[in-house]
Structures are given as structure tokens and as C-alpha cells.
Chains A and B, each alone.
Chain A
Amino acid sequence: MNDFIGILTNELLKVFPSLQDKLPPLVLTIIVMVVAAGALLALFIAPMAGIFTWIERRVAGRIQHRIGPNRVGPQGLLQFLADGIKLVSKEDIIPDQADKFLFRFAPYVVMSGMFAVLVVVPFSETMVFSDLNVGIVYVLAVASLAPLGIIMAGWSSNNKWSLLGGMRSAAQIVSYELPAALAILSVVLFTGTLSLKGIIEAQYGGFGIVNWFVFRSPFTFLSFFVFFIASLAELNRLPFDIPEAESELVSGYNTEYSGIRFGIFFLSEWANMFVASALIVSLFFGGWVMPGVIYHWLNGIHPLVLNLAQVTIFMAKSMLFVLIIMWLRWTLPRFRVDQLMNFCWKFLTPLAFINLLGVAAWVAIDGAGYVIWQKVFWATKWFMFFLTLALLLRFAVKLCKLVGEMRNTYVDWMVRPPKEEA
């Protein structure tokens, strides 16, 4: 076993050799797994989700021209601890007419759906809890646990808002699973493997950036957008947050929840943002592949340093997408239910099918061995790369100009308040 659990078990056996005689290896592996899962929850998911809530509130504050939480800790960084303590110490209210067992059980189903995806997320070459050879299909599969938990929460609350929110959410997630799966399939056609590690390893080369699947062909470029939009919908984030539309449904399926049970929904929602970003990064943005670095330069480096660097790169890329998701939330208005379904079935799904066919043709022609076509494809890759770079630059310039103008008007307004008309 060369995955993370195997390495941990071996290290443990080196420190305590006597364990080998007392416990059968499988029991030992299971114990290590349980401890690792607990550590993952306590040391990684909970703080990360907490810090995400803080970032989100600060980003929202900045976008809405206010400050946001800045009292607890430096710049309000420890706000999530205060929120956590508040949630734990609040009374856990279960409505009288609720279905008590399902009401208690639902948050765990939602959470286990999120948690199970983390098993296959490859943070670095060795830091994968388990590199399943059905990796990406497994991700799609466990993601389907979430709607079940959400329906469970909605129904067991015995509340119309909750039930409507739960039904909407499940319908939305089930619909958007289709374009997401098709977008993933277009990447799998390139790699020929379902393992996430294999998918990232297929993106080595090309100065560590041009071989990323976003740039590999125009079809995967579109697939990235399809997958990104579909993951927004599966996350129930704006512009697809009709399951918890505050103006219509109070707060959707979690209306009746309070205390730590609400906290668990909250936690899995924010951690899910990271999971979705991590998947986008591993599928389309090269995972831990460092931009600008040719792989054989790294041959002599100590594996620990290499792994740490890879984890850093992976986390940085994922954080970028988390920030983009937050940015979208505070910029875009909400879809209507019918617009949402029309968009999925009449635009996104056909586009994903066309992409799939395009990628299939692309791979078939590439594999047929015509040198001229391979040169064309190589040129397309670089063209896509520079095109994206140019678009990003143009966008950045425009954004800077816009921010500058806004600041000027703001300064003007602060220095010389407009005269009141008599």
C-alpha cells in the first residue's frame, strides 16, 4: 500500500513494533483510518470551513462596502471559533411534530457525502487517503448522498419551507449531476484512467501549465465552464441557491435546525466549496502541478519538501476557486426555478454532449498518428493558453480601471460632499 493510510500504518508499526503481534493488520488499518478521519475533521475540515466563513463575510463586506467581522482576533480571523462555541452552546431544538430519528440523522448523511469525497482528493503525490482506481466515479457517487440527506432534513422537519427547499435542492442536484458527469467524462477520455492521481499525472509537461486540461483543447475549455457551473448548482450557491432562497423559503431545508445540528449543515456546505474547488483544480488545472516548472528539475528534491510544495500549490489553486465562488455569490442575482431547469436541460446538457463528441474525435485523431494533426493540436494548446492569458490580462486591466474610477468618485464624495439642492 503506498497511499496515505498505508504510510501512516507503517510509521506507526515502526514506532510501536509490538502492535504487529497483538492486532491483525486489518484491524490496525481500520483504527488508523478512524483516527485519521477524526484528525481530518478536527484539524482540517472544521478550521477550514470556519476560516472560509470568515473569508466569505469579509469578502461580502468588501463587496457591499462595509467592514465585516473584525473584532475577534487579528482582523476578525478567530470569528469562526466564537461562532462555533455559540453554535455548540445553543439549545438543540427538535420540533414537536418532527420525525425525531430522521431529523437527528439527516445532518450526518449530508456531512458523510462531503466527507467521503475527501478520501480521494489528491493533495500531493503521496497525500491521498486512498487512490481508488474508480476515483472520479466514486466522487460522483458519494456526491449523490447529499440530496438524500437534504430531502431527509426537509421532510422530517414537518415544515413547508423545509420540504419545499429540500425538494428543490434534490431536483437541482439530480439535474445538474448530468452535465457535471459529462464534463468529467470529456477529461477521462483524454486520460484513459478514472483515478484522480492518474488524471493529474496526465497533466505533467508543457512547462507545468500548458498541458492542463483547460488548455488541452477548445472542448475541454468549454467542459471546464460546464463543470464549474454545474458544481455551483450542486453546492446550492448563488446564482443557483433557490433551495435556500431567503426571500421565499426562510432558509430552506435547515429552517428548523438549531445549535450544532445547524452547525453541521453549515460546516458541510462550506467544506463542500473546498471539495468542489479541489475537484475543478485536479480535473482541469493540473492539481499539484507547478506552473512554470519542468518536472525533471524536481528529481533531486527530498520527497517531504516536494510533497509540502505540492500541497501548497494544490491548496493555493483551490483557494483561488473558493474565492471566485464567493465573489460570484455576492455579484450575481438568483435564478428562477424554471430558468434554472431550462438552463440545465436546454443549454448545459447539450453543450456537454457536444464537448464529449468533440473530445472523442480529438482523441481519436490524435491517436491515429498523423504528424500534421499532432502539430495542429500542439499549436491549439499554446493558442488556448495565450488566449486565456490575454483575456485574463484584459479583464484585470478593466477591473483595475473600474476600481480606480470607483475610488476617485468615492474620494471626491468624501472630500467634497455633493451640495444639497435647495
Chain B
Amino acid sequence: METWIADAIFCFFALITVGGALVVAFSKNIVHSAFALLFTFSGVLGFYAFLGADFLAVIQLIVYIGGITVLFLFAIFLTKGVKDIRISNRVMGRVPAFLLVSGMGYIIAMVIWRTWHHASKLDPEKLAPTTEHLGKALLGPFLLPFELVSVMLVSVVIGAIVLARKEIRDLDNAEEEG
């Protein structure tokens, strides 16, 4: 692949990712922010596909675009008063903001510094399909973490059900008391 095409594709994805992220951060309408996440996630998906991580790219689409974004939208629609700009875009004051931004800036600078020298030409062999290796790794050397994660997810689901049920019971009690 000629380099300029690769550069052009990279810039395209970078533009989508960063542009989406800017809208997420600066939009005064929280629903717009949630929809702008769609573009950010799509850009990241593009990077994954670009780097030959096919399975990861598809999972990014399922989990982040199909799951997380829809979840955010539901949360926004079902929460009272979250569309108020004073709640959605809360001002923290200058000192904490400065600390946060400089901390993030330091981390990003370190990442750039450390990966700068390792950047190399793309190895075509690394662009081979990854699904099989991922599956074997998950059910082989990484079986224990995989099972732990699934146990955690089950407990999260049970927790969600318990929370949802409790609300109904309270409502019933309130009706009986009233």
C-alpha cells in the first residue's frame, strides 16, 4: 500500500475520532454529545480495522456503538433533569480543571514518547485473521481471567435485577401505606 493512501485513511479516521470527541466535550446538548460518541467510536473502529484487528473492530461495533451509545441514550431519556446544562456540563472550577488537563496531558505525552521509537513498518503477516488465535487464547492461557470476568458480569446482571425489583416493592409498600 502506498504510504500517502495509508496516511490519508489514518487522517480520515483521526478526524472522525477527534471531531466526534470535541462535540462530545463541548456540545451544550447532552443528547448531541451522546450521538457524537457514535462518530468517535466509529473512528476507533476504523483504526482497529486499519491495523488488521478484525475481530476487535467488530466487537467495538457491537459493544460500543450498539451497546454503550444506546445505553447512554436510554439513561439520558429516562433520567429527569439531566438535559439541564447545569447538571450535564457541570463547571468544576479552574484549579481542578487545570490539574485534570495537565495530568491527562502528561499521560498522553508519555504514551507518545514511549511508542515513538517503536513505530515500524506494518508486517503483512500480522494482518492475518485474529479470531481463531483470540479464541484459543481465551480458552487456553487466559481461561481463568475469562471465567472471572464472566462471573463478574453475572453478578452485575443479578445486581441490576435486584435493584430493579426493589423499586417495585417500594412502590407497592407506598401504595399500601397510602
Question: A129-163: which residues lie under 8 A (CB-CB) from chain B?
Answer: 132-134, 137-138, 140-145, 147-148, 151-152, 155, 163
Q: How far is the CA of A145 from the CA of B64 in the complex (A)?
A: 11
Q: How far is the CA of A152 from the CA of B74 in the complex (A)?
A: 12
**Contact between chains at B70 and A170 (CB < 8 Å):** yes
Whether A145 contacts B66 in the complex (CB less than 8 A), given A24-B2, A155-B77, A167-B77, comes out as: yes
Is B103 in the interface zone, CB < 8 Å from A? no
**Contact between chains at A134 and B131 (CB < 8 Å):** yes
**Contact between chains at B58 and A141 (CB < 8 Å):** yes
The number of residues on chain B lying at the interface, defined by a beta carbon within 8 Å of a beta carbon of chain A, is 23
Chain B residue at minimal CB-CB distance from A170: B70
User: Which among B31, B55, B69 is the interface contact of A148 at CB below 8 angstroms?
Assistant: B69
Is A34 in the interface zone, CB < 8 Å from B? no
Is A1 in the interface zone, CB < 8 Å from B? no
**Contact between chains at B74 and A170 (CB < 8 Å):** yes
Q: Which residues of B contact A171 (CB under 8 A)?
A: 74
**Contact between chains at A144 and B74 (CB < 8 Å):** no
Q: Which residues of B contact A368 (CB under 8 A)?
A: none
Q: Which residues of B contact A163 (CB under 8 A)?
A: 77
**Contact between chains at A151 and B73 (CB < 8 Å):** yes
How distant is A364 from chain B, measured CB to nearest CB, in Å? 14
The number of residues on chain A lying at the interface, defined by a beta carbon within 8 Å of a beta carbon of chain B, is 28
User: Which among A138, A147, A155, A170 is the interface contact of B58 at CB below 8 angstroms?
Assistant: A138
**Contact between chains at A137 and B55 (CB < 8 Å):** yes
Question: B24-69: which residues lie under 8 A (CB-CB) from chain A?
Answer: 31-32, 35, 38, 54-55, 58-59, 61-62, 65-67, 69
Q: How far is the CA of A194 from the CA of B54 in the complex (A)?
A: 12
Chain B residue at minimal CB-CB distance from A105: B35
Chain B residue at minimal CB-CB distance from A192: B132
Is B112 in the interface zone, CB < 8 Å from A? no
Is A26 in the interface zone, CB < 8 Å from B? yes
Q: How far is the CA of A141 from the CA of B57 in the complex (A)?
A: 10
User: Which among B35, B54, B65 is the interface contact of A152 at CB below 8 angstroms?
Assistant: B35
Is B163 in the interface zone, CB < 8 Å from A? no
How distant is B47 from chain A, measured CB to nearest CB, in Å? 16
**Contact between chains at A145 and B65 (CB < 8 Å):** yes
Question: B96-155: which residues lie under 8 A (CB-CB) from chain A?
Answer: 129, 131
**Contact between chains at A133 and B54 (CB < 8 Å):** yes
**Contact between chains at A102 and B1 (CB < 8 Å):** no
How distant is B102 from chain A, measured CB to nearest CB, in Å? 34
User: Which among B31, B55, B61 is the interface contact of A144 at CB below 8 angstroms?
Assistant: B61
- Residues of chain A touching chain B, judged by Cβ–Cβ distance below 8 Å, are 24, 26-27, 99, 102, 132-134, 137-138, 140-145, 147-148, 151-152, 155, 163, 167, 170-171, 174, 177, 194
The 4 closest A-B pairs by CB, nearest first: A144-B66, A141-B61, A141-B62, A133-B129
